[in-house]
């Protein structure tokens, strides 16, 4: 298995609390099994700067001395307790190569008996405008483009957010609306705020209160007329099991990078489904390799597939390969053997 660092210019600067980034760095993994090639991606959290050569060395150490031809290759990788985002790259490349060798797409090869990969996966539209009129314009445009679900970023500015969401609901009367509070609401008033939003028919609110207090989230859910989803709190399998046991969520936001790759993400989707909890699959800021990986994973969520957070390729000025297109609000799942993406100028 080989690793290649990438550094890609962004079309839109990525802003965060401590500055802004004009490029995106991560690494790709590539493995060849009897001529069948698989690719995978490691993308760091967007605010984390990456030393490409150090990450390549770290990834190479994880697979050092292991034989990708071995059927238990991934178990051997896991025994070394790799960083989950590096595991995601390794597992995606290996599972894609194995799928390609069988002549199957990644999703078909990961389907259990009784599961079938969907042909298309719906993608949500994102509304971040702070101004209510601008937010309504964005919502109207996204709905016209075919997005049936709109995700609205919220903050602790309670009155302003109610005005924005009211304007968005007027502009897109048939849309499924989700809110994302990114931990900004205080547990003391979160439940009251959720009741204020109920008239706008909201699907769910992502991470209303800070992560790390499962009992508090369960209490908010119990008092809420709107569904509750965990994102920042859905850190890893242990945290997710705790959320499910406490009946703290109606939905989980899953990022394959954070969870360690396709197989681990699918295991969580199946675990959640058994308890009636649906999963929304989203990307970090990832290249076409990462977006396509997440697309395969989402195609195996039972119907209806919750609209996914895959509209991130537009942030890139350049990509390693053409990313899946969003047409009428959906992405088409590749059916060719393997991942269905061939990065250029690598390997």
Q: Which is nearer to Mg ion, 101 or 147 (CB)?
A: 147
Interface segment toward Mg ion; rule CB under 5 A; list 26-34, 37-45, 203-211, 292-300: 203-211
Question: How far apart, in whole angstroms, are the C-alpha atoms of residue 94 and residue 82?
Answer: 15
Please, what is the minimum distance in Å from the beta carbon of residue 233 to Mg ion?
Answer: 10
Question: How far apart, in whole angstroms, are the C-alpha atoms of residue 171 and residue 175?
Answer: 9
Question: How far apart, in whole angstroms, are the C-alpha atoms of residue 290 and residue 284?
Answer: 8
Interface segment toward Mg ion; rule CB under 5 A; list 22-30, 205-213, 264-272, 327-335: 205-213
Question: How far apart, in whole angstroms, are the C-alpha atoms of residue 109 and residue 103?
Answer: 9
Question: How far apart, in whole angstroms, are the C-alpha atoms of residue 47 and residue 63?
Answer: 27
Site residue total, Mg ion (CB under 5 A): 3
Beta carbons of 343 and 28 less than 8 angstroms apart:
yes
Please, what is the minimum distance in Å from the beta carbon of residue 231 to Mg ion?
Answer: 4
Question: How far apart, in whole angstroms, are the C-alpha atoms of residue 271 and residue 289?
Answer: 26
**Count of CB atoms within 10 A of residue 19's CB?**
10
Please, what is the minimum distance in Å from the beta carbon of residue 229 to Mg ion?
Answer: 8
Q: Interaction with Mg ion in 297-336: which residues (CB under 5 A)?
A: none
Q: Which is nearer to Mg ion, 30 or 147 (CB)?
A: 147
Q: Which of 301, 256, 334, 269 is nearest to 100 (CA)?
A: 334
Please, what is the minimum distance in Å from the beta carbon of residue 182 to Mg ion?
Answer: 6
Q: Interaction with Mg ion in 65-124: which residues (CB under 5 A)?
A: none
Q: Which is nearer to Mg ion, 206 or 319 (CB)?
A: 206
Q: Which is nearer to Mg ion, 1 or 279 (CB)?
A: 279
Interface segment toward Mg ion; rule CB under 5 A; list 188-196, 199-207, 261-269, 290-298: 199-207
Please, what is the minimum distance in Å from the beta carbon of residue 25 to Mg ion?
Answer: 22
Residue 206 found at the interface with Mg ion (CB under 5 A): yes
Question: Measuring CA to CA, how many Å separate 145 from each of 125, 196, 326?
Answer: 9, 29, 9
Please, what is the minimum distance in Å from the beta carbon of residue 209 to Mg ion?
Answer: 13
CB closest to Mg ion, residue no:
231
Question: How far apart, in whole angstroms, are the C-alpha atoms of residue 241 and residue 237?
Answer: 6
Q: Which is nearer to Mg ion, 175 or 252 (CB)?
A: 252
Question: How far apart, in whole angstroms, are the C-alpha atoms of residue 199 and residue 79?
Answer: 50
Q: Interaction with Mg ion in 139-198: which residues (CB under 5 A)?
A: 180
Name the strand (E) or helix (H) holding 245. Answer: helix 237-245
Q: Which is nearer to Mg ion, 97 or 259 (CB)?
A: 259
Please, what is the minimum distance in Å from the beta carbon of residue 255 to Mg ion?
Answer: 9
Please, what is the minimum distance in Å from the beta carbon of residue 282 to Mg ion?
Answer: 7
Per DSSP, the residues of 46-99 read: TTS---HHHHHHHHHHHHTT--TTSTTHHHHHHHT---HHHHHHHHHHHHHHHH
Site string for Mg ion, 218-247 (x = CB under 5 A): -------------x----------------
Q: Which is nearer to Mg ion, 60 or 211 (CB)?
A: 211
In what order do the strands lie in the sheet containing 19-33? 2-16, 19-33, 36-42
Q: Which is nearer to Mg ion, 180 or 319 (CB)?
A: 180
Enumerate binding residues for Mg ion (CB under 5 A). Answer: 180, 206, 231
């Amino acid at each position: 298995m080989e690793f290649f660092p990438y550094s890609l210019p962004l079309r839109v600067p990525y802003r965060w609390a401590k500055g802004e980034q004009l490029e995106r760095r991560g690494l790709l993994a590539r493995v060849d099994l009897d001529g069948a090639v698989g690719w995978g991606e490691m993308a760091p959290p967007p605010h984390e700067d990456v030393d490409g050569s150090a990450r390549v060395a770290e990834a190479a150490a994880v697979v050092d001395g292991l034989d990708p031809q071995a059927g238990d290759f991934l178990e051997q990788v896991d025994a070394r307790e790799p960083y989950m985002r590096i595991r995601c790259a390794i597992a995606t490349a290996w599972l894609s190569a194995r799928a390609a060798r069988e002549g199957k797409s990644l999703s078909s090869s990961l389907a259990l008996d009784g599961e079938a990969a969907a042909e298309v996966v719906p993608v949500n539209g994102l509304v971040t405008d702070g101004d209510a009129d601008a937010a309504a314009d964005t919502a109207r445009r996204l709905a016209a483009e075919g997005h049936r679900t709109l995700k609205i970023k919220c903050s602790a500015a309670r009155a302003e957010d109610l005005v924005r969401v009211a304007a968005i609901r007027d502009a897109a009367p048939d849309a499924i609306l989700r809110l994302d509070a990114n931990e900004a609401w205080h547990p003391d008033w979160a439940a009251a705020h959720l009741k204020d939003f109920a008239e706008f028919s909201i699907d769910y609110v992502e991470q209303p209160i800070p992560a790390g207090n499962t009992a508090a989230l369960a209490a908010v859910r119990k008092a809420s007329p709107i569904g509750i989803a965990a994102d920042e709190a859905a850190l890893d399998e242990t945290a997710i099991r705790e959320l499910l046991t406490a009946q703290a969520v109606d939905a989980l936001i899953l990022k394959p990078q954070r969870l360690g790759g396709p197989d681990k993400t699918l295991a969580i989707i199946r675990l959640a489904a058994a308890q009636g909890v649906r999963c929304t699959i989203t990307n970090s800021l990832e290249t076409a390799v990462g977006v396509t990986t997440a697309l395969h994973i989402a195609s195996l969520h039972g119907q209806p597939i919750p609209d996914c957070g895959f509209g991130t390729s537009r942030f890139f000025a350049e990509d390693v390969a053409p990313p899946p297109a969003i047409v009428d609000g959906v992405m088409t799942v590749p059916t060719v053997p393997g991942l269905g993406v061939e990065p250029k100028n690598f390997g």
